[in-house]
Chain A
Amino acid sequence: MNEPMPLQSTSSTPVIALDSVTKTYQMGEVAVHALRGVSLTVQRGEYVAIIGASGSGKSTLMNIIGLLDRPTHGSYRIRGQEVSRLSKSAQADIRNREIGFVFQRFNLLPRTSAQAQVELPLFYAGVTGAKAKRRAVEALTRVGLAQRLDHRPDQLSGGQQQRVAIARALVTQPSLLLADEPTGALDSKTTAEILDLFDALHAQGLTLVVVTHEHAVAARAARVITISDGTVVSDASTRQKEE
């Protein structure tokens, strides 16, 4: 079993904190500046949407937040710990423990039952057997799929598949749920269902960061960060406006 890393986390420590993060892709002679100095913090329990046009740098930012990619410059802390320069292996452990991913295309394993899909992150955390099964069933129950444990992706609707993916993201009890265009492949009715589920999870205290190009989706978040051409152009709390 993996021992949790000692993180100097207090209630006031942000879940994630980016400071002047840049990402430059070198395409031969040309340098593509995908991120030009992004600073942002997300506190525990926040529901944040990141919105921007296509090519604005959303996915690049997502990948850095999700430790799938490293920033060219700048600092990135998760619960106070600098993580951007950690080894590949240490980053894999943090991804496993701290971050739950939800993708546009669900990314479920073919011909694999919902329960087995959800057990997968636990396998990499060293949790197997009855304990893994119990936690997978709990997570699937949380997303309303308690009756679909043995269903394979081809036996589930798009909305149900995305729920399986959300259960898989939740099962390790991460500090942050990171969703990249989570409703991009869904119709408006199922989109509403998934967004309702996000609301419910947020209400239970989960920290969410949702990347989207749809304003309707972003509008459900309490805070909307707009990026354009690799920089944050606005960071607004929608609830405060309402109040």
Chain B
Amino acid sequence: MRIMRYLGVALSNIGVNKLRSLLTMLGIIIGVAAVLTTLGIANGAANSITADIQQQGTNLLEVSDARGVGGSRLTTADARILGDRTEFPHFVGVAPAYSGNTTLVRNGVDVEARVQGVTGAYLTVSTIEVASGRFLNAADETHGARVAVLGSDLASDLFGAAEPLGQEVRIGGDLFTVVGVLKTSGGSRFFSNDTTAYVPLTIAQTRLFAAPFYRGERLVSSISIKVDDAYPLEQAEQDVEAALRLLHGLKLGDDNDFSIFNQASLLDLAAGVSTTLSVLLGGIGAISLLVGGIGIMNIMLVTVTERTNEIGLRRALGAHDRDILVQFLAEALVLCLLGGVIGVGLSFGIGALLSAIPAFPITIAIDATAVILALLVSSAAAILFGLYPALRATRLDPVEALRYE
């Protein structure tokens, strides 16, 4: 095939000036690699968020106050009523929480950490798992026990290699006995469980953080509700909304003074963010390819000028307009495609490298569509930016061209 010959000629011309060709391709290489890598990271992040959510279960509602700390009206009473199985038989776990940050001290080691006051039900609504000892239970709550369960990192920060179980740790002003240590959750948590301490809810509300009252009940920061799989989440959300509006004495037309967040909508959010990111990065990619393409055009113009004499000679030997046109277009195409392929290779290399770093939380996911699109766009750039220099080459007067030094 004739076109293969032109591609062959183009390849050997590119090979003749390797360094310059590489520098010319750099724009395309960097553009393609940058776009594919960032798209891969965005994809990977979305995948990992989705996996997180699916692991936690998508049948989860989280109620929090809608007014900021001052005006919160979400209380222990709300949690108690939502947790009534005769009233709400489909709510398999209702876990109120009140959290804050404070200092934990043990043997002169002090660590600033997040302390969450929770009930035993917290185990059913979260992904935490106990590594040793036990989690908080109903007895701790009723007896007002000063007991704590530590996240794995927090435990090792405070106790090092020593066994934390049965030991005491000072939280706020009181001494707490460590009754359990959690498994490392690792992964890509937004709030790491590994650096959190869990204490009974009442203790957190009274001794540690002195939670304000509303209608005679202590406030909670959130109530997590696990709904059984058979029950539609939207229905559960409506049930919770109706109950809380009634409990808070809201009239028709009043805004909710709480907000309900469901994990399924988080999934949609993750997908939406991923799409937005892809469009944004695609745009940046298009701009970088434009810059790369202009680089190609620049070099092709230089090449045409440098090879004026050669063009004159080819004319004398019988080359038609289209022969000259195709020759230079093929060269631009090979430059761009080669740049594109190297860019794709580079992005996979960077992806593998980043994924190999243990601390890097995301597995980079470069998908085939993006690769094909990147190559197509670089080819289009080649035709677009190669056309003008190639047309210039065909317009050269053979007599002038042959005389050109």
Stretch at the interface among A12-20, A89-97, A192-200, A224-232: A89-97
Determine if A76 is an interface residue (Cβ-Cβ < 8 Å).
Answer: no
B399 contacts A97, C-beta separation under 8 Å: no
- Interface membership of chain A positions 175-192, coded 1 if the CB is closer than 8 angstroms to chain B and 0 otherwise: 000000000000000000
Q: Which of B16, B320, B399 contacts A111 (CB 8 A)?
A: B16
Determine if A134 is an interface residue (Cβ-Cβ < 8 Å).
Answer: no
Cα of A95 to Cα of B315 in the assembled complex, Å: 9
A66 contacts B5, C-beta separation under 8 Å: no
CB-defined contacts of A103 to chain B, threshold 8 Å: 313, 402
CB-defined contacts of B323 to chain A, threshold 8 Å: 124
Q: Which of B2, B16, B316, B318 contacts A97 (CB 8 A)?
A: B318
Q: Which of B2, B16, B320 contacts A89 (CB 8 A)?
A: B320
B318 contacts A89, C-beta separation under 8 Å: no
B318 contacts A109, C-beta separation under 8 Å: no
The residue on B at minimum CB distance from A125 is B318
B399 contacts A63, C-beta separation under 8 Å: yes
Cα of A123 to Cα of B317 in the assembled complex, Å: 10
CB-defined contacts of A128 to chain B, threshold 8 Å: 2, 5
A68 contacts B315, C-beta separation under 8 Å: yes
A89 contacts B321, C-beta separation under 8 Å: yes
CB-defined contacts of A125 to chain B, threshold 8 Å: 318
Question: How many A-B pairs with Cβ below 8 Å?
Answer: 55
Question: How big is chain A's contact interface, by range?
Answer: 20 to 34
In the complex, how many angstroms separate the beta carbon of B5 from the nearest chain A beta carbon? Answer: 6
Cα of A96 to Cα of B315 in the assembled complex, Å: 9
Determine if B266 is an interface residue (Cβ-Cβ < 8 Å).
Answer: no
CB-defined contacts of B314 to chain A, threshold 8 Å: 120, 124
CB-defined contacts of A110 to chain B, threshold 8 Å: 16
B318 contacts A92, C-beta separation under 8 Å: yes
CB-defined contacts of A120 to chain B, threshold 8 Å: 314, 317
Determine if B319 is an interface residue (Cβ-Cβ < 8 Å).
Answer: yes
CB-defined contacts of A88 to chain B, threshold 8 Å: 320-321
Tally B residues with Cβ within 8 Å of A.
19
A124 contacts B402, C-beta separation under 8 Å: no
Cα of A97 to Cα of B317 in the assembled complex, Å: 9
B5 contacts A124, C-beta separation under 8 Å: no
Determine if B282 is an interface residue (Cβ-Cβ < 8 Å).
Answer: no
Determine if B310 is an interface residue (Cβ-Cβ < 8 Å).
Answer: yes
Cα of A172 to Cα of B316 in the assembled complex, Å: 13
Q: Which of A66, A96, A97, A107 contacts B313 (CB 8 A)?
A: A107
CB-defined contacts of A111 to chain B, threshold 8 Å: 16
The residue on B at minimum CB distance from A116 is B12
Determine if A138 is an interface residue (Cβ-Cβ < 8 Å).
Answer: no
Determine if B398 is an interface residue (Cβ-Cβ < 8 Å).
Answer: yes
**Chain A stretch 7-35: residues in CB contact (< 8 A) with chain B:** none
Cα of A128 to Cα of B317 in the assembled complex, Å: 15
Cα of A95 to Cα of B402 in the assembled complex, Å: 15
Cα of A67 to Cα of B265 in the assembled complex, Å: 75
Determine if A47 is an interface residue (Cβ-Cβ < 8 Å).
Answer: no
Given contacts A109-B310, A120-B314, contact A68 B399 (CB under 8 A): yes
A168 contacts B318, C-beta separation under 8 Å: no
Determine if A153 is an interface residue (Cβ-Cβ < 8 Å).
Answer: no
**Chain B stretch 311-364: residues in CB contact (< 8 A) with chain A:** 312-321, 323
Determine if A121 is an interface residue (Cβ-Cβ < 8 Å).
Answer: yes
Q: Which of A89, A95, A126 contacts B317 (CB 8 A)?
A: A95
Cα of A109 to Cα of B319 in the assembled complex, Å: 15
Q: In the complex, which of the residues B317, B398, B399 has the most CB atoms of chain A within 10 Å of its own CB atom?
A: B317
In the complex, how many angstroms separate the beta carbon of B392 from the nearest chain A beta carbon? Answer: 16
- Interface membership of chain B positions 379-405, coded 1 if the CB is closer than 8 angstroms to chain A and 0 otherwise: 000000000000000000011001000
Determine if B309 is an interface residue (Cβ-Cβ < 8 Å).
Answer: yes
A96 contacts B318, C-beta separation under 8 Å: yes
Cα of A107 to Cα of B404 in the assembled complex, Å: 11
- Of all A-B residue pairs in the complex, the 3 with the closest CB atoms, nearest first, are A96-B318, A124-B318, A121-B317
